[in-house]
Structure 1
Amino acid sequence: MFRTLVQNVPAVADTSDTSDTSDTADVAVIGGGMSGMATALRLQSAGLSTVVLEAHGHAGGCAGYYRKRGFSFDVGATTLVDFAPGGVGAELLDSVGIAPLNAQELTGYRAHLPDREVVLHRDQSAWHAERLRMLGDSERHRRFWALLDRLAQTFWQASRAGVRLPVRGPADALHDLRAVGLSGVPLARHLNRTLGDALRSHSLRDDAALVGLLGMLVEDTVHTGVDDAPLINAALGVTIRGAGLSRHVGGMHGFWRALVTHYRGLGGRLRVGCQVSQVVGGPGHYRLTTRHSTLHARRVVCALPAARTAAICAGLPVATRLQTFLERDAQALGGACVVFLGVPEEEVAAQELTHHQLLQAYDRPLGEGNNMFVSVSASGDTLSAPPGHRAVMISTHTELSGWAGLDPAAYEQRKKEIGERLVGYARRAYPALGERAVIAQTGTPRSYQRFGFRPDGAVGGPRQRLGNTNQHAVPHDLGGPGLWLVGDSTWPGLGTVACVLGSRIVAEGMLREKGFAR
């Protein structure tokens, strides 16, 4: 499984770490996922010399892809969020000079609940009508949705304005006040409430269909259940389809080809197959060690999981400062399983919508197939699949403990079982799915550990709860002057839009540092 991830590297990212000579840069960015590449793009476009050091065979991280026999499969994120004009993603493209992406805007996706189907429309008026028709039209339902709408509108606006958390001083507080706006300040009282609190206050916690749908949405965006999900974060997660979902032609392969090409056109350097083993030094004179070379940089951005950052920066203050956060979040990590199918077009052609989310039972824990997402490449997208075929990705969350300590035979059996289960469940949307598959492979936490260099295969950052997000999140500037953190271990956490927002915060903060602005 995933063997082609390191064998089929596209030409656009074919720069391996083979030099034995030292090199220098204004900024070394460790990790070429969404947050790392976005940060490097911003700094490079601002006139700094940057180099991105990526352990894998190409850029992408957990929003990456792999290629096999003419198919391109997304290994994590399958959609882009808020890349339409005015969005967080669009701000990145505009700020670094990238033309609008060759992406298809999704009109929505279908949620398959145990007893009904709900279409999550991108169009707001259509969605408002659908949720009342399918999930309840009582006054309690209307007041609940009105609260979520107010929170989402205010804090999407704040996110697009670059809100900074945790607040580290008066400058951050003033910036955030402007981002939220005076009219939004009263909503800050909800920072200490969960989605479950809001449901209970509207006497809706026992509404199975409503809670089931919300649970699916927040598990995918906040990585926790309704009773633990911070209300404001959950409101944003529930409304991502309204912010705009899109899929690039070629999926994440096409997206990364566009970004890497532009980054290199700006003079940026991407070194793949280049795993950093140690960072030493301080502002103005950091030294980064890889298997084949040593690189010197004035500043460093670590776009890695917090545990990996602490390991490679073991002699620096940031490693000690991270320990409290690592201990706090040790039990808040989760993994994913994904099935990749290359199928004839007719197996998926009957559905107008190409994205589906499925819940099997209201009374079972989410994950392990009970809540899964199905993403299908568009018809005619020959960068994703050969003519007459489509690429299909089926993903679900999984507990890491269930994959630990398995011997080879037990591991293969568990992988086979989860793969068959996901395909079987996905046939609710596509009854003939996988019957004539050209490719059928399954990824597990071990795949993400081996090929994504994720500690224990954990993906998406810690599950977000009141005690570890927003004002309690890992600060971007925890490393002190010259060493910044970004990615799903830091605020605002998981997802493409969160990583893009984090890149903006870090790039702006680094450019403000004394003695470093140009």
Structure 2
Amino acid sequence: MEEIWDAIVVGGGLGGLAFASRYAKEGNRVLVLEKGIHPGGCASSFDRAGFRFESGATTVVGWEEGLPLAQLERDLGIQFPRIPLSPSMVVLWKDKELIRYPEREKWQKEIARVFGKSKRMEWFWRFLFFLSDGLWSISGRYLHFPIANGKDIFRLLRTLRPKDILIFCASFLPFRWVLKIFGLEGKEEWISFLDEQLMITNQCKSKEAPLLTAAAGLCYPNLINTYIPGGILRLSETLVEYLEKNRGECHLKEEVIRIRKDGSESGQDLFQVVTKKSTYYSKVVVCNIPIWNVEPLLSEEIPARLHAIRRFEEGIYSAFTMGVVLRTSSLVPKSYHYQIHLSAPLPEGGGDSIFVSLSHPEDKLRSRDGVLVLSISTHVSDPETWRERGKDYQNHKQIWVDTILSQLAESLPWFRKEEIIALHSASPLSWQTWTGRKLGRVGGIPFSYFSNPFRFLSPNVLSVKGLYLCGDTVYPGQGIPAVVLGGSHLAQRLQKKEI
């Protein structure tokens, strides 16, 4: 019989790699199987036309003491490459510019400059900071969430602090109630700012967002924000390097096509993981893929609770992304991240804003030869419209590309179309082809589905011993810090046999 692995991870995204590294640290042999040519999943980089592009525009936060990336560095004894950024981003709409400073006092002054100074606004942000800090504290300390049984309730009560009770109570409230309580619900430009910030982090707007996730999402630019030299791919490569030094392996270009139960030859209760190249055996399987991609992989003898994941089908976003290489000019960008509100929404389910990330001048791999590499992303609310490459597909893409380029030229004084030396674009269909995600869905499940924290999907939602999920569609959800936290917690629970 083939070698038996302690765990096999299906999908080489950051959540799965965080699990694999953390589990390997405890002496377990872990195999990661990734269909792509690079690890990282949706948080990766790729080379084209001699330049390195990011898979999409994104920020990387979570470096404070106790937060997921800092904690993973400490646990593994590694160092991720990074360059601190300030400001975190610049938001542009109509004739306004708002600079998202990470320093809280500085940010309070900036928000007062743009929207007017008031005690209500000041206390509103203080309240959000309190909730955000509390949520990160609870998330870091408590491994057993969402609660699945009586033992989990006991573990929760054992670790609760008095302040945690307030945070849990707040988790049952909608964000719109708090806006109303503070008298901040009426101004159109203010709500537009909140809505587009929440679309980045919550995949929903202020009317639908739960209070706790909205607080964390609106305050994330006030965490330490960083640029990853060499591309965001370097995060995953660092974890792969650690894994391979600790008796683990990461196989690229090896797509999993079936997961079966198998115990006939060894007498052990094992899983059989079948790829297009080989068959592997493992005691544990962790699916680091979206919930919509799990069901087609499971053989009939695995009695999974599939109804628990089938309810998440409506209102799931995909993305339209672009990469642009620009000759630099004498005008220096104020930030390496921009959110630009569009003068009109993109057609056929397009977003109301675009998010732009720039290469850093200290990154000699990406910013060489006096060029600036831009990664651009926007939401697609109806990815089904991009399902086929029909005769109108290229025209559809070109309309979006032209609209986005015109908005960039209008909003950014240093962006000139005539200075573009390379450009590519990717639709939801491109994302589906590249990542394998159903309909190219990226960014996880909108938090509007989770009116309270107990509605989140847990890693053991399938109720099959030894078969678990991690990534952006299970708790704690979307974003690099969240998926890293989820993968790390799953590894610790498995090691302690508390799942």
* TM-score, normalized by the shorter chain, greater than 0.5: yes
How far residue 504 of structure 1 moved from its aligned partner, in angstroms, is 1.8
Counterpart mapping for 1:337-486 below 5 A = 337-346=320-329, 349-361=331-343, 368-401=350-383, 403-427=385-409, 428-467=411-450, 470-479=453-462, 480-486=464-470
Output the amino acid matched with 1:456: L
Q: 1:289 & 1:471 partners in 2: Cα distance? A: 34
Structure 1 residues 483 and 405: alpha-carbon distance in aligned structure 2, compared to 1, 3 A threshold: closer
Output the amino acid matched with 1:346: S
Output the amino acid matched with 2:116: G
Q: 1:164 & 1:117 partners in 2: Cα distance? A: 42
Q: Unpaired segments of 5 or more residues in structure 1? A: 1-20
Q: Unpaired segments of 5 or more residues in structure 2? A: 263-267
Q: Which secondary structure state, in structure 1, belongs to the residue aligned with residue 392 of structure 2?
A: helix
CA RMSD in angstroms comes to: 2.5
Q: 2:157 & 2:50 partners in 1: Cα distance? A: 50
How far residue 138 of structure 1 moved from its aligned partner, in angstroms, is 2.5
Structure 1 residues 512 and 109: alpha-carbon distance in aligned structure 2, compared to 1, 3 A threshold: same
Q: Which secondary structure state, in structure 2, belongs to the residue aligned with residue 192 of structure 1?
A: coil
Q: Which secondary structure state, in structure 2, belongs to the residue aligned with residue 237 of structure 1?
A: helix
Describe the superposition over 1:360-405 as per-residue Cα deviations: whole angstroms up to 9, x where unpaired. 3599999725211110010131222432112101111012346345
How far residue 507 of structure 1 moved from its aligned partner, in angstroms, is 0.7
Aligned 8 A contact 2:60 2:226 in 1: yes
Output the amino acid matched with 1:383: L
1:26 aligned residue: 6
How far residue 187 of structure 1 moved from its aligned partner, in angstroms, is 3.2
1:239 aligned residue: 219
Aligned 8 A contact 1:373 1:394 in 2: yes
Aligned 8 A contact 2:460 2:467 in 1: yes
1:39 aligns with 2:19: yes
Which deviates more from structure 2 when the two are superposed, residues 118-127 or residues 355-364? 355-364
2:473 aligned residue: 489
Which deviates more from structure 2 when the two are superposed, residues 45-54 or residues 86-95? 86-95
How far residue 208 of structure 1 moved from its aligned partner, in angstroms, is 1.8
1:336 aligns with 2:319: yes
1:192 aligns with 2:177: no
Describe the superposition over 1:114-152 as per-residue Cα deviations: whole angstroms up to 9, x where unpaired. 241111101111112111222232233233223212211
1:289 aligned residue: 274
Structure 1 residues 363 and 277: alpha-carbon distance in aligned structure 2, compared to 1, 3 A threshold: closer
Q: 1:464 & 1:277 partners in 2: Cα distance? A: 30
Structure 1 residues 264 and 115: alpha-carbon distance in aligned structure 2, compared to 1, 3 A threshold: same
How far residue 468 of structure 1 moved from its aligned partner, in angstroms, is 6.5
How far residue 430 of structure 1 moved from its aligned partner, in angstroms, is 4.1
Q: Which secondary structure state, in structure 2, belongs to the residue aligned with residue 481 of structure 1?
A: coil
2:105 aligned residue: 125
How far residue 431 of structure 1 moved from its aligned partner, in angstroms, is 4.4
Describe the superposition over 1:341-376 as per-residue Cα deviations: whole angstroms up to 9, x where unpaired. 1121228x5213111111135999997252111100
How far residue 317 of structure 1 moved from its aligned partner, in angstroms, is 4.4
Describe the superposition over 1:408-452 as per-residue Cα deviations: whole angstroms up to 9, x where unpaired. 221111111111211221221244344222210001101110011
Output the amino acid matched with 1:485: L
TM-score (norm 2): 0.92
Question: Equivalent of 1:146, from 115, 126, 135?
Answer: 126
How far residue 476 of structure 1 moved from its aligned partner, in angstroms, is 0.7
Q: 2:218 & 2:143 partners in 1: Cα distance? A: 19
Q: 1:102 & 1:502 partners in 2: Cα distance? A: 22
1:274 aligns with 2:259: no
Output the amino acid matched with 1:494: Q
Aligned 8 A contact 2:172 2:452 in 1: no
Describe the superposition over 1:27-66 as per-residue Cα deviations: whole angstroms up to 9, x where unpaired. 0010100111111010111110000000111101011111
How far residue 293 of structure 1 moved from its aligned partner, in angstroms, is 0.4
1:249 aligns with 2:234: no
Aligned 8 A contact 2:57 2:376 in 1: no
Q: 1:163 & 1:211 partners in 2: Cα distance? A: 35
Q: Which secondary structure state, in structure 1, belongs to the residue aligned with residue 259 of structure 2?
A: strand
Question: Equivalent of 2:300, from 296, 299, 315?
Answer: 315
Question: Equivalent of 1:93, from 73, 87, 91?
Answer: 73
Q: 1:205 & 1:376 partners in 2: Cα distance? A: 33
Aligned 8 A contact 1:359 1:370 in 2: yes
Q: Which secondary structure state, in structure 2, belongs to the residue aligned with residue 215 of structure 1?
A: helix
Q: Which secondary structure state, in structure 2, belongs to the residue aligned with residue 61 of structure 1?
A: coil
Structure 1 residues 386 and 49: alpha-carbon distance in aligned structure 2, compared to 1, 3 A threshold: same
How far residue 298 of structure 1 moved from its aligned partner, in angstroms, is 1.0
Aligned 8 A contact 1:339 1:423 in 2: no
Structure 1 residues 352 and 456: alpha-carbon distance in aligned structure 2, compared to 1, 3 A threshold: same
How far residue 193 of structure 1 moved from its aligned partner, in angstroms, is 1.8
Question: Equivalent of 2:198, from 200, 203, 218?
Answer: 218
Q: Which secondary structure state, in structure 2, belongs to the residue aligned with residue 446 of structure 1?
A: helix
How far residue 286 of structure 1 moved from its aligned partner, in angstroms, is 0.7
1:65 aligned residue: 45
Output the amino acid matched with 1:271: H
Q: 2:27 & 2:116 partners in 1: Cα distance? A: 54
Q: Which secondary structure state, in structure 2, belongs to the residue aligned with residue 289 of structure 1?
A: strand
Which deviates more from structure 2 when the two are superposed, residues 267-276 or residues 504-513? 504-513
Describe the superposition over 1:216-261 as per-residue Cα deviations: whole angstroms up to 9, x where unpaired. 1111001011111111001001111122211111121333332222
Q: Which secondary structure state, in structure 2, belongs to the residue aligned with residue 214 of structure 1?
A: helix
How far residue 161 of structure 1 moved from its aligned partner, in angstroms, is 2.4
Q: Which secondary structure state, in structure 1, belongs to the residue aligned with residue 216 of structure 2?
A: helix
Output the amino acid matched with 2:106: A
Aligned 8 A contact 1:481 1:513 in 2: no
Describe the superposition over 1:305-364 as per-residue Cα deviations: whole angstroms up to 9, x where unpaired. 112112111425464x132332x21103111011101121228x5213111111135999
Aligned 8 A contact 1:158 1:179 in 2: no
Structure 1 residues 371 and 344: alpha-carbon distance in aligned structure 2, compared to 1, 3 A threshold: same
1:304 aligned residue: 289
Q: Which secondary structure state, in structure 1, belongs to the residue aligned with residue 232 of structure 2?
A: helix
Aligned 8 A contact 2:62 2:223 in 1: yes
Output the amino acid matched with 1:473: F
- Between the two proteins, the alignment pairs up a number of residues equal to 492
Q: 1:110 & 1:93 partners in 2: Cα distance? A: 29
User: Percent of aligned positions with the same letter in both sequences?
Assistant: 24
Q: Which secondary structure state, in structure 2, belongs to the residue aligned with residue 435 of structure 1?
A: helix
Q: 1:318 & 1:512 partners in 2: Cα distance? A: 25
Question: Equivalent of 1:498, from 468, 476, 482?
Answer: 482
Output the amino acid matched with 2:120: R
Aligned 8 A contact 1:140 1:203 in 2: yes
